[in-house]
Amino acid sequence: MKRTEKREQTRSRILQAAVRLFQENGFEQTTVQEITASAEVAKGTFFNYFPTKESIMRALAEDRLLRVQEYMQTYKVRRMTLTSRIRAYAGYFLGDFHLNPSLTRHIWRHVVEHDSALLSTWEQLLESGVRQQEINPSISPHRWAHIINSYFYYQLSIGTETEREELLHHFMQLVHAGIDSMLLKGGQETMEKIIVLGGGYGGMRFLQRVLGSDLPQDVDITLVDKLPYHCMKTEYYALAAGTESDHDVRVPFPDHSRLKIHFGTIDHIDMENQMVVMSDSSSLPYDKLVAGLGSVDNFHGVPGAEEHSYSIQSMEATRRTYEAISNLPPKAAVSIVGAGLSGVELASELRESRADLHVRLFDRGETILPMFPKRLSNYVQNWFEKHDVEVISNSDITTVTEEGLYNHEDWIQSEAIIWTAGIQPNKIIRDLDTEKDRKGRIILTPHHHLTNDENIFIVGDCASLPHAPSAQLAEGQAEQIATIMKKRWKNESLPETMPEIKLKGTLGSLGKKHGFGVMGGTAKAAVTGRVARLLKSGVLWMYKNHSGV
């Protein structure tokens, strides 16, 4: 082994041991002797790398600061708006906050107090804002970097937040209050502002179709999302079960010079003033809005379901579900409520991931997957019987508690309960003052916009359409919205109706080797076994590798 490699390994071992002890015992209570014992190095070796215990905190922060450029490149942070870039950087610096909030606060307070590296980072961000004509060129980036640094330090010092997102929210409130006055708002009044809410399947397909050479020069497009990448929601079941990693279900947003990305959480849509209001109280004006915010769990009023069950409806929720499943002891019972496609795929994947667990799948109907041909339903049922997944038909979950659930009047103990029993529109969409169907989905015109506002388009799970919500349906909708948008740009008349969205079929997996599905149009062909699984793997590969512009 080369000498430099050995030194790096020793340094890494000391850092890992220190972090582990800091998390377990606290920074102040941990001694250098304990660190060296845990890292299995001599005390003198420790001081060869770190002159003091405090210097470990600086090293941890420096590692993050050194990797920030790679992070910026990977997630196209340069294409975000200035405030989104500031938030993205702060979020990256606080990446380990969930592991130990107190230690993370301690580390970055120490950096602000004793180092100029973080200050330089803010200054570079502000200088990029000047170069990109986002902020007034007369401002002093150095002076404002000190201000942003003080905001960050203030929130780290006085905040009581236990969640990273909450801390970032409060930090960005201070940032917006401070720098709004220097942001350049002029010069773009003549631009048509199109905002895409959510980088899901519908939002991605819309961007792919409009970000071409025929995009008019007077059109400004901004994508708004909480995360710096698209998440393949159809694969969350595998992430929750632990058979795929977080990175496996990510796809970069389209890389295009005409696309801006605003990173943050949406609070509500102000239809009257045509503004998207963010949770940090900032707002984004729009001329056209394409809302693809997706769905959330529908707990159907079941007492305790929301409080005591896990979910796979969002990336954050799926990560929590994965963590809960991973921490279960052998022979623990997992109850999956809802035997639709998500529930079936999760149950099968969990059987492969944790064969030691007792997996129950609660089905409200007589037979599993009634929307599929009977042969497929029987195939899936037989697979579950063969692999010891207990399917409970005709179930009715009446109450959920921390220790288990009631099916009708029967008590069933469960160490983890995962809810996949129905969805409803995102609250932001539910709160819109417009026409809705009995499920709360938005009723649209044939051109996919609100019946009372032709400037707001709804794409995906929140739209009231003849078909059940799916990624395919959202993409089909998005393509038609892109066509409508292009016709408007060219002042062409719109057709009275749009063509029917044709779905290619549905594929589901039963672990990594088997699957099921229906393919084709009206004359659907059923496929099962390895062929179905290979088809699904191929579709996923194509999507991940051909989703750019």
d(CA 156, CA 93): 12
Looking at residue 98, its pLDDT comes to 83
Q: How long, in residues, is the chain?
A: 549
pLDDT of 424 over the 60 cut: yes
pLDDT of 443 over the 70 cut: yes
pTM: 0.73
Confidence band (pLDDT; 50, 70, 90) for 413? very high
Q: Are 254 and 207 in contact (CB under 8 A)?
A: yes
Q: Are 290 and 203 in contact (CB under 8 A)?
A: yes
**pLDDT, tens only, 15-48:** 889 888 888 888 888 999 999 999 999 988 988 8
Confidence band (pLDDT; 50, 70, 90) for 189? very low
pLDDT of 548 over the 70 cut: no
In terms of average pLDDT, the best of 63-77, 290-304, 506-520 is 290-304
CATH 3.40.710.10 fits 310-423, yes or no: no
Instruction: Say which residue, 283 or 415, is predicted with more confidence.
Output: 415
Looking at residue 188, its pLDDT comes to 45
Mean pLDDT, rounded, of the chain: 90
Confidence band (pLDDT; 50, 70, 90) for 12? confident
Looking at residue 296, its pLDDT comes to 96
In order of 24, 35, 116, the CA distances from 96 in angstroms are: 14, 20, 21
d(CA 9, CA 349): 36
Report the half-sphere exposure of 350 (CA within 13 A, side-chain side).
Answer: 33
**pLDDT, tens only, 274-312:** 999 988 878 888 999 999 999 999 999 999 999 999 999
Non-local CB neighbours of 126 within 8 Å, separated by 6+ positions = 82, 135, 139, 141, 144, 145, 148
Confidence band (pLDDT; 50, 70, 90) for 77? low
The position carrying tokens 């849509």 is: 269
Which stretch of 183-197, 253-267, 440-454 has the lowest confidence by average pLDDT?
183-197
Domain boundaries, the chain: 52-181, 192-226+264-297+425-502, 310-423
Which stretch of 100-104, 450-454, 485-489, 530-534 has the lowest confidence by average pLDDT?
100-104
Non-local CB neighbours of 2 within 8 Å, separated by 6+ positions = none
pLDDT of 185 over the 60 cut: no
pLDDT of 184 over the 80 cut: no
pLDDT of 520 over the 80 cut: no
Assigned CATH topology for domain 192-226+264-297+425-502: FAD/NAD(P)-binding domain (3.50.50)
CATH of domain 52-181: 1.10.357
pLDDT of 453 over the 50 cut: yes
pLDDT of 523 over the 60 cut: no
Looking at residue 273, its pLDDT comes to 86
Q: DSSP alpha helices (H): ranges in 132-200? A: 141-158, 164-179
Looking at residue 186, its pLDDT comes to 45
Looking at residue 187, its pLDDT comes to 42
Averaged over 240-264, what is the pLDDT? 90
**pLDDT, tens only, 85-133:** 888 889 889 988 888 888 899 889 988 988 888 999 999 889 988 887 7
At residue 14's C-alpha, the angle toward residues 109 and 121, to 5°, is 35
- Full 3-state SS string of 44-81: HHHHHHCCCCHHHHHHHHHHHHHHHHHHHHHCCHHHEC
Confidence band (pLDDT; 50, 70, 90) for 74? low
Confidence band (pLDDT; 50, 70, 90) for 440? very high
Confidence band (pLDDT; 50, 70, 90) for 208? very high
Confidence band (pLDDT; 50, 70, 90) for 76? low
- Full 3-state SS string of 413-478: ECCEEEECCCEEECHHHHCCCCCECCCCCECECCCCEECCEEEEEECCCCECCCCCCCHHHHHHHH
Hey, do 192-226+264-297+425-502 and 310-423 end up sharing a CATH topology, with the first three levels equal?
yes
Which stretch of 110-124, 178-192, 339-353 has the lowest confidence by average pLDDT?
178-192
Instruction: Say which residue, 165 or 406, is predicted with more confidence.
Output: 406
Which stretch of 151-160, 169-178, 399-408, 419-428 has the lowest confidence by average pLDDT?
169-178
| Residue 358, H or E segment | strand 358-362
pLDDT of 505 over the 70 cut: yes
